[in-house]
Structure formats: structure tokens, C-alpha cells
């Protein structure tokens, strides 16, 4: 929100949207942190219509293969965006994964080449110059569709209003572009599950996670859109390091998907080792997809999340507000205390030279996101490796 926006009471539309988000996300986020799901979900539910927005990327590639091997998902489209590497690489990498999985019926669209207002920052240092850790596959024969990603996103959501979940595992530029083009679009999206953000420090700066760092303005548009958001960020994805044993299990799978995944995984591990990284690579994006397939893998907590866009050192930081987190935690039975429920969402304090009062971004706590706070890593890898190697 603009810093000179005056405090105001939450509107009925904001209240309805925020309240509805809890219901709309129920199939994915029923598990509050430390609490069992009211409706436990397991693989086999669905199928759900999804659009996967991606910037392949090592973990993106495995996430795409997982999604295309999962009957719970009806993939309406895959949209590529610049991020881990430029669009000239992420687009053919997405097409390669579609061919490897034998799913060439899925339309693949080219998206944004750069963030909304910033220069592109890539992560070739982590994903290799080709985005796949140096793993080489043939040039794809499949061609992308003619429609730009943002146009295709709008077309599909318009065709199936209230049915499409956006699985976003890259910078959010394509999604923000679609939302900016159609003010009614957000109200037609079932939910958005994103790999991105962190409430526990970043991976490209001390404050910011990479996907949000690349295009913080786009991420802010998404968080403030009213779409029910599930944030699967570094708080949990740091617990998903790929190991040599995982690679061996993939190599044992006798199918093209498993063999391709093993090749990418092996190259990614060697790439990390050569550069002296102590951990990883982490399966960030695969966890977001797996968590949508099987919500019981994750424990969730409601937050109001906003994105820092002006900070010289903190741009891209996802800031989570909760009346029951950190030093604001209440004693058992006091979580619904009136003081907690009316906690204002504040921005920075006014400067001595300024006349503005401290802006209140919200005058009452209303969550806009469910944030993953813990993960059953062993079960996640069982699902990932099992699907890719055709164990189940």
C-alpha cells in the first residue's frame, strides 16, 4: 500500500474475500500448525484443474515431472517465466519436460522475459548455465502455443471460473501481468499455491527468497489480490535436500521420467559440490506441488503477508504478521483475545522530516495467506521418488 494511504477500516469485500480464502484453501491448508486436518487428504483426490507457472530450473524440472505423473492434477497449461535462467532457456526446458513425460498435449506458453519494473537477476550459480545443472537433453520438437502466458492464464481461468488453482514455482511476473490486465480475474481463481517467500530469512539475500526477490512488485500484487494464497517457502523447503540415495532410487526406475530426473539430480548435486555448497540442492518447487497433491505433508499457520518493495537491503522480503506468533503469542485459551484479533498491521515509523503518521496497512488482523511452517520430509520424498520411479 502507498505510504500516504490513510488508515481505514477493512471493507466488507476485503472481509468476505479474506474469510472466503480459508474455505477456498480448505482442501490444501486444513492443517493449522500443530493441529490435525479436519478432512485429512491423501494422494488420490481430485483431479483439480491447475496452471503451472515455472522457470525451470533444477527443482522446477522435477516438480513438473512430478505434476505430470500425478493423476490428482488436470494440468490445463504450463507457463514459462524468466527467473532461474532467462526465458530463452526456461521455455525450452519446460518443453523438454513435457516431452520426457509424454504429455505433449499440455499447452506450454512463453511468458515474461523480465520482471515488472526491475532488471532480471538469475540463479545460474545454483542451476547451471542451462538451468538443469548442466544436464543435456535434445532440443524439444514441441512448440509453444501462440498466446502469451498472461493471455492464456486469463483465457483458461475465464473458461473455468472458480475451478483453477495456480501452482506458481517461479517469479510471479506472469500472474501479476494477468491480474493487472483484468480486475475481475482474481475473483475467478480458486487458489494460488506458491513456492516462494520465507519468514525465516532468505537464500539470495539475508532477507529475501529468490522467487520473490526477482519480482517483489509482482509478488505484492498477488498477496494483495484477494486470491487465497498458500505460501510454501524456505521455512519448509530447506528441509528437502536431495541426497545420493535419492539419486540411486531414481536411477533404479526403469522409465524415461525417472532416468531424466536422476540425470538432472545427479548433475545438480555435482554442481553444488563443485561450488562448495554445504547442503542441497533443495527440492523447493517439488515440495509446493507435492503439498498440493497431499496436504497432510505440511503444517500450516495463518498470516497476513506483505512484500517489501522499497528496501535497499530487504527488497523481496516476505513479512508475516500474526497476533499469535513470536513475542505476541498468547497463553492457551487467549488466542482469540480481542486485543489479538484487533492487532493493526503497521508499516515503518514516520521520519523526523516527514509529516505523515505511521501508516497502518490494515487496522485489523485478517490473514491473507496460509504459510507452511513444517514438513514431513521423509513422506515428501516417498511421494516424489515414488511417482517419478513409478513405484506408485
DSSP 193-255: EEE---SS--SSSSS--HHHHH-HHHHHHHHTS---EEEE-HHHHTT-B--HHHHHHHHH--S
Q: Which is it for strands 318-321 and 298-307: parallel, antiparallel or unpaired?
A: antiparallel
How many angstroms separate the Cα of 144 from the Cα of each of 90, 101, 106, 172?
A: 12, 16, 10, 20
User: How far apart are the C-alpha atoms of 147 and 159, rounded to whole Å?
Assistant: 15
On whether the CB atoms of residues 8 and 363 are closer than 8 A, the answer is: yes
φ, ψ of residue 301 to 5 degrees: the values are: -145, 140
User: How far apart are the C-alpha atoms of 140 and 95, rounded to whole Å?
Assistant: 6
- Marked catalytic residue, from 127, 246, 271, 284: 284
In the block, cell 506472469 appears at 174
Grid coordinates given for 140 = 524439444
What is the 3-class SS of 41-71, one letter each residue?
CCCCCCCEEEEEEECCCHHHHHHHHHHHCCC
On whether the CB atoms of residues 177 and 112 are closer than 8 A, the answer is: yes
On whether the CB atoms of residues 67 and 76 are closer than 8 A, the answer is: no
On whether the CB atoms of residues 301 and 308 are closer than 8 A, the answer is: no
What's 106's DSSP letter? Answer: S
User: How far apart are the C-alpha atoms of 221 and 176, rounded to whole Å?
Assistant: 6
For residue 246, indicate whether it is catalytic.
Answer: no
The enclosing H or E element of 154 equals helix 149-159
Q: Any idea which residues carry the catalytic annotation?
A: 284
Amino acid at each position: 500500500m502507498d505510504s500516504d494511504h490513510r488508515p481505514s477500516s477493512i471493507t466488507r469485500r476485503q472481509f468476505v474475500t479474506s474469510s472466503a480464502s480459508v474455505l477456498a484453501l480448505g482442501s490444501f491448508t486444513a492443517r493449522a500448525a500443530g493441529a490435525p486436518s479436519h478432512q485429512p487428504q491423501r494422494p488420490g483426490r481430485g483431479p483439480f484443474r491447475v496452471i503451472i507457472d515455472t522457470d525451470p530450473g533444477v527443482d522446477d524440472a522435477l516438480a513438473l515431472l512430478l505434476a505430470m505423473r500425478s493423476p490428482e492434477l488436470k494440468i490445463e497449461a504450463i507457463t514459462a517465466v524468466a527467473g532461474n535462467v532467462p526465458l530463452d532457456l526456461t521455455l525450452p526446458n519446460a518443453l523438454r519436460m513435457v516431452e520426457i513425460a509424454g504429455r505433449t498435449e499440455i499447452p506450454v506458453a512463453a511468458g515474461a522475459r523480465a520482471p515488472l519494473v526491475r532488471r532480471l537477476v538469475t540463479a545460474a550459480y545454483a542451476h547451471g548455465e542451462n538451468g538443469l545443472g548442466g544436464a543435456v537433453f535434445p532440443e524439444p520438437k514441441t512448440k509453444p502455443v501462440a498466446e502469451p502466458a498472461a493471455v492464456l492464464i486469463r483465457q483458461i481461468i475465464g473458461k473455468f471460473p472458480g475451478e483453477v488453482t495456480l501452482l506458481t514455482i517461479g517469479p510471479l511476473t506472469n500472474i501479476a501481468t494477468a491480474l493487472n490486465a483484468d480486475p475481475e480475474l482474481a475473483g475467478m481463481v480458486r487458489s494460488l499455491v506458491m513456492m516462494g517467500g520465507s519468514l525465516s530469512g532468505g537464500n539470495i539475500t539475508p532477507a529475501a527468497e529468490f522467487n520473490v526477490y526477482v519480482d517483489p512488485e509482482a509478488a505484492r500484487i498477488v498477496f494483495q489480490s484477494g486470491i487465497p494464497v498458500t505460501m510454501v517457502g524456505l521455512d519448509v523447503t530447506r528441509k528437502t535436500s536431495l541426497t545420493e540415495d535419492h539419486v540411486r532410487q531414481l536411477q533404479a526406475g526403469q522409465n524415461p521420467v525417472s532416468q531424466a530426473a536422476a540425470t538432472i539430480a545427479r548433475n545438480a548435486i555435482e554442481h553444488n559440490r563443485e561450488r562448495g555448497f554445504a547442503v542441497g540442492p533443495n527440492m523447493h518447487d517439488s515440495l509446493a506441488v507435492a503439498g498440493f497433491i497431499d496436504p497432510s505433508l505440511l503444517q500450516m499457520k495463518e498470516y497476513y503477508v506483505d512484500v517489501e518493495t522499497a528496501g535497499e537491503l530487504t527488497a523481496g522480503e516476505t513479512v508475516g504478521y500474526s497476533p499469535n506468533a513470536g513475542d505476541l503469542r498468547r497463553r492457551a485459551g487467549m488466542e482469540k483475545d480481542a486485543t489479538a484479533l484487533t492487532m493493526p498491521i503497521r508499516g515503518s515509523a514516520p521520519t523526523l522530516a516527514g509529516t505523515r503518521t505511521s501508516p497502518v496497512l490494515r487496522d485489523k488482523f485478517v490473514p491473507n495467506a496460509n504459510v507452511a511452517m513444517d514438513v514431513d520430509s521423509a513422506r515428501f520424498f516417498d511421494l516424489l521418488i515414488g511417482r517419478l520411479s513409478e513405484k506408485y
